[in-house]
Amino acid sequence: MLRIQFFGSFQALNDDVPIAAMQSERIQAILAYVLLNRHAPIARQQLAFTFWPDITNTQARHNLRTLLTRLREALPRADQFLVIEA
């Protein structure tokens, strides 16, 4: 079972075992954003602008791709929880 706690100190647990790769504040922030907005698709452009409003669109989208890859790698069975499309 995957359990994520955002209030207090952040915790991400898989079967009660901490997920070490979830210690990045950026990964935690994007996960929180996606979970809070899970009832509707979120455009990549919107995510990129939300997290990197002060850099070029190209660099923001690159940063987003990198962060989404890290998030997929960090979450066990990510394909059960995330649908990430181009």
In the chain, what are the domain boundaries? 23-86
- Residue 80 confidence class, pLDDT cut points 50, 70, 90: confident
- Mean per-residue pLDDT, 49-53: 95
Question: What pLDDT score does 58 carry?
Answer: 95
**Cα(42)–Cα(24) distance, integer angstroms:** 21
**Between 79 and 86, where is the model more confident?**
79
- Residue 86 confidence class, pLDDT cut points 50, 70, 90: low
- If residue 48 lies in a helix (H) or strand (E), which one and from where to where? helix 44-51
Of 18-22, 31-35, 54-58, the range with the highest mean pLDDT is: 54-58
**Cα(1)–Cα(85) distance, integer angstroms:** 25
**Between 42 and 77, where is the model more confident?**
42
Name, in order, each residue with C-beta under 8 angstroms of 80's C-beta and a sequence gap of 6 or more: none
pTM (global) more than 0.75: yes
